[in-house]
Each structure stands twice: as structure tokens, then as C-alpha cells.
Amino acid sequence: MKLHLLRHAKTQVLSFSGKDIDRELAEKGLRQAIEMKTFLSKTEWKNTLLLCSDATRTKQTLENVTVARQFKAVEYTNELYLAEPYELKTVIAGQENHDLFIIGHNDGLSALAEEVCGNSICLKTCEYIELECPGNDWADIFIQKGRIIAQFHPKVD
């Protein structure tokens, strides 16, 4: 099984509401997303469930990096907003056994990737990592170490 993780693109420092959840992508984030879309368009996603934090910046990242209809399904959830690794593991363990793509936030995503593969990982804004996970059930992915298959970070100014 494959686990795809994408940290949201670069954001504005403040939101119109003053709330963190409402922060939008910055111009740099939009440029990152364009480059990420080119990278992600090389992969077939029809058997992959996409889970996205319901924060404005993650939704905007999704809208700008891919076409949602390319996925098996897309679900927005507050459970992924600033989720810690144990919260991410709970969400993942509850999924059916097909590939997963998660768009979320640090530090949770980086810590989750570290736990899955045993490498030191710090995802930058709009950085993607693909992990191959052992086993046939998401609840078992932390029993054996997975491995990094691909990693990409857009280089924009």
C-alpha cells in the first residue's frame, strides 16, 4: 500500500478573520502549487482516496495541485487540521485498504513520515513524499518500516 503525504503550500502570515484555519495561500504558494501539479500529473490516482484537512490553505493547495475527480474519492476533515502523529495514525487506521493521499500540516505529517520509514524527515511547504507501506491493512503499517519511493519539493522564488 502507498501513503502519499503533501504539506500545504506557502501561506500568508495572517488571515482576514485572524484565525489560523482561514489563512490562504501566498503568491509563492500558488507558484509552488503549479510546479507540484506538473509533478503529480504524471501519476494515476483513480484508486487513491484523498483526505484533506478542512483548513483554507489545504483546500486551496488541493484545488491548485490536482483535479479532485482524478481520485477515487476526496474527503475534507477537521481531524487532519494541525493533527499530531497519533491523530493521523487514527485517521489512517480507519481507512479501507487502498492507497491514501493526505494533504495536511506540519509537524504532524513530518513526524508521521519519520515513524513510517524510520528516516529523519522535515517536509517543507508544498513538499510531497510517497511511502510504500508493508502489510495489507492500514492498522498494521507501523509494525514494519516502510520506505520512501518518491519525494518532491517545488523550487520557486
Provide the pLDDT for residue 135.
82
Q: Which residues of 125-153 are buried (b: 16+ CB within 10 A; e: fewer)?
A: bbbbbbbebeeeebeebbeeebeeeeebb
| Domain ranges, residue 35 | 2-152
Q: Is residue 135 part of a domain?
A: yes
The answer to whether 24 and 60 are in contact (CB under 8 A) is yes
pLDDT at residue 59 in the model? 97
Q: Is residue 28 part of a domain?
A: yes
Q: What is the pLDDT of residues 81-113, one digit of tens each?
A: 999 999 999 999 999 889 999 999 999 999 999
Confirm whether 157 is domain-assigned. Answer: no
What was the pLDDT predicted at 109?
98
- Domain count for the chain: 1
| Residue 77's pLDDT band (cuts 50, 70, 90) | very high
We report the CATH number of the domain holding residue 48 as: 3.40.50.1240
119, part of any domain: yes
- pLDDT for the residue 14: 95
What pLDDT is recorded for position 97? 87
Is 49 among the domain residues?
Answer: yes
The answer to whether residue 41 sits within a structural domain is yes
Q: pTM of the prediction?
A: 0.95
Q: Which three cell numbers stand for residue 95?
A: 481507512
Rounded to a whole number of angstroms, the CA Rg of the chain reads 15
**Residue 77: is it exposed, middle or buried by C-beta count within 10 angstroms (0-12/13-18/19+)?**
middle
